[in-house]
Structures are given as C-alpha cells and as structure tokens.
C-alpha cells in the first residue's frame, strides 16, 4: 500500500468516522444500532455525510502546518477561532461538536490570553486526540519529534497529563500505521516507532496511559468501556474496536455502538483505521457522501508532498 492511499485514508477516515458517529452523540449503549447507511439528524441536526468540529479542527491544524511550514500554536488557535465564530472549514457553515475544554481554550485565546488549556485531570478531554492526525502525517520520518509536537498541540487546548500522554501515544501509533506496521506490532505492549522510547524515564507515559499502552483494553468487554469524553475512555474504546475487528467498517460500527461520545470516539478510530487500512478500504458509499471530500483529500496530498520534500521549519 502506498503513502497516498494511507494519507488520504487517514483524513477521509477521520471525517467518515465523525460523520458516522455524530448523529448518535449522547445515546446510551444498547439503545440503538448504528446504521450501515450514513445517517443524519441527531442532536446536531446534520445531513448525511456532514461531520463535526472534530474534523474541522483537524483540517485547521493541517492548514496551519502547511501555511506556516511548521508548528505555530497561535496560527492554529486563530484558525480554531475562525471555525468557532465563522464556520471556517466546517461541513455546513456552522461550528458544532467541540467539548467544553476546547471551547474554553479558544475563548481564552480570543480574549488575548495564553494559548493553553486546562490542566486538571478531570479536564483531560478527547478533542486533541480527534484532531491529531496532521502531526504524524507531517512528521512521518521523525517519530520522536512527532510525539513532542503532539504534546504541544494538545497543550494549546488541554494541558492535563492524561490528555497530553494520550496524544503522544496515539501519535506513535499513527506514525506506525502510516509506515505500514502490522496490527500485531502496533498493539504490542508500549509500541513506539522509536525503539524502547517509553522506557526512558524522562518521556515515560503517565500510569493510566501506560496501562492502556500495555493492552489493558484487550481484556475488557463493551460494557466495560464508557466511551466518554475523557481522553483515556476514548483511547481505550478506539483501540478495543481496532483490536476486535479486521476491517474499517466493522470497527467503525463497533465503536459507534458503544454510545455516549460517539462523534469524537469514532473520529479518533477513523483516523487510525484509515491510516492502517487505507483509503480504498473505507466503504465507497461512505466516502462518496462525505462533505467537502475533495478538499479533505487535497489537504492529505499536500501533507504528503511536504513529507516527501522534507520541508521542516519548526521553531
């Protein structure tokens, strides 16, 4: 599988997961069955194929990396603010689907405050996980730097250690998936594209994320996975669905069936599974319905071009 297939699969997969899950946002597990048809409606009153702020903010991040040719937190926050106030890079011209932690950080930025989110453990939201994909796509050949930038990306809206370490760990998984690692390797204990990376004390994962990285989710059932807004809940649910299934569609429907924070959880699944299985593994009827699909694919190709040209201007 070539990198074009994986890069387009990553961003389109994120949007597909988001669009599949968003209509079921807030639903209790067991009280519904995800449809094979991409539906609309739900609390956001969306049309089939429309995605939430999870995808919007990922596209904002991708656009910022490309425009700035590097990681510029203020430019990222400016774009998130444009999304919130003007519907920039949204699926239907309006902003919806971001969690309170993210919204608070954007509003703080708007008022001239620092580009930093909350730092308490309970605030460790999953919004950063859902917009993560452009970081490993842009830095594919530098696994250590990818983790560092994933942490800084998270900290623009959420400084809680659980959220930061969830992003660092997922960035490593995304890098491995984009490089074509096997699922067995990706889901092995403490996987990292940098050999033994998590065993060094100065970069070790916090205890709760370390447990996830060692496969605690493999021994759980659906009833043990709340799939809530906390970063750990989302990380476990996504890896559990990825572990339990063998194709993009089966995993996507499984993770949506967990209910609760379905839009974000399925968006995080979609970016990982899209990188691993590739673009053509995403069912064509789902791909064809996605709002602004051509623009999403163009951003993926632009990130791939930057990666191949090895253009790096980080500060």
| Domain of residue 22, CATH code | 1.10.4080.10
Q: Is residue 234 part of a domain?
A: yes
- The verdict on residue 68 lying in a domain is yes
- pLDDT score at 314: 42
Helix (H, G, I), strand (E, B) or coil at 124: coil
Q: Are 29 and 259 in contact (CB under 8 A)?
A: yes
314 falls within a domain: no
Taking the CB of residue 99, how many other CB atoms lie within 10 A of it?
A: 20
Q: Residue 280: inside a domain, yes or no?
A: yes
Q: How many domains does the chain have?
A: 1
Residues 161, 203: contact at Cβ < 8 Å?
A: no
Who's near 200: CB < 8 A, 6+ residues apart?
none
Q: Give the model's pLDDT for residue 313.
A: 44
315 in any annotated domain: no
Nearest to 126 by CA among 50, 278, 237, 259: 237
- pLDDT, tens digit only, all 315 positions of the chain: 899 999 999 999 999 999 999 999 999 998 888 877 888 889 899 999 999 999 999 999 999 999 999 999 999 999 999 999 999 999 999 999 988 889 999 999 999 876 555 555 456 899 999 999 999 999 999 999 999 999 999 999 999 999 999 999 999 999 999 999 999 999 999 999 999 999 998 999 999 999 999 999 999 999 999 989 999 999 999 999 999 999 999 999 999 999 999 999 999 999 999 999 999 999 999 999 999 999 999 999 999 999 887 644 443
Whole-number pLDDT of residue 122: 59
Quick one: pLDDT at residue 117? Answer: 56
User: Would you give the distance in Å from CA 289 to the centre of its chain?
Assistant: 20
Asked whether the beta carbons of 142 and 308 are under 8 A apart, the reply is no
125 bridge partner residues = 230
Q: Is residue 262 part of a domain?
A: yes
For residue 315, what pLDDT is reported? 37
What's the CA gap between 266 and 34, in Å, rounded? 12
For 241, the token pair is 């669905």
Q: By residue range, what is the domain housing residue 260?
A: 3-309
Asked, for residue 220, whether it belongs to a domain, the answer is yes
């Amino acid at each position: 599988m070539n990198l074009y297939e994986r890069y387009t699969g990553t961003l389109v997969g994120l949007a597909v997961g988001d669009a599949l899950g968003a209509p079921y946002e807030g639903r209790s597990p067991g009280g519904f069955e995800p449809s094979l048809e991409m539906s609309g409606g739900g609390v956001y009153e969306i049309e089939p194929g429309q995605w939430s702020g999870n995808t919007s903010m990922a596209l904002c991040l991708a656009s910022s990396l490309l425009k700035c040719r590097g990681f510029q937190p203020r430019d990222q926050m400016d774009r998130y603010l444009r999304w919130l106030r003007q519907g920039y890079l949204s699926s239907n011209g309006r902003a919806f689907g971001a969690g309170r932690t993210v919204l608070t950080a954007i509003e703080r930025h708007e008022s001239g405050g620092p580009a930093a989110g909350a730092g308490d453990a309970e605030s460790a939201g999953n919004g950063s996980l859902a917009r993560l994909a452009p970081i490993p796509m842009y830095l594919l050949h530098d696994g250590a730097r990818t983790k560092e930038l994933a942490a800084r990306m998270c900290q623009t809206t959420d400084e809680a250690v659980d959220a930061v370490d969830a992003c660092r760990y997922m960035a490593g998984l995304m890098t491995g998936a984009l490089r074509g690692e096997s699922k067995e390797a990706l889901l092995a204990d403490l996987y990292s594209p940098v050999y033994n990376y998590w065993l060094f004390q100065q970069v070790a994962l916090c205890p709760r994320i370390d447990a996830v990285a060692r496969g605690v989710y493999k021994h759980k059932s659906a009833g043990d996975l709340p799939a809530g807004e906390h970063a750990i809940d989302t990380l476990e649910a996504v890896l559990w669905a990825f572990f339990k299934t063998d194709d993009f569609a089966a995993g996507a429907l499984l993770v949506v069936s967990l209910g609760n924070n379905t839009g974000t959880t399925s968006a995080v699944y979609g970016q990982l599974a899209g990188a691993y299985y590739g673009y053509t593994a995403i069912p064509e009827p789902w791909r064809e319905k996605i709002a602004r699909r051509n623009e999403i694919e163009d951003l993926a190709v632009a990130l791939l071009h930057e990666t191949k040209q090895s253009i790096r201007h980080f500060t």
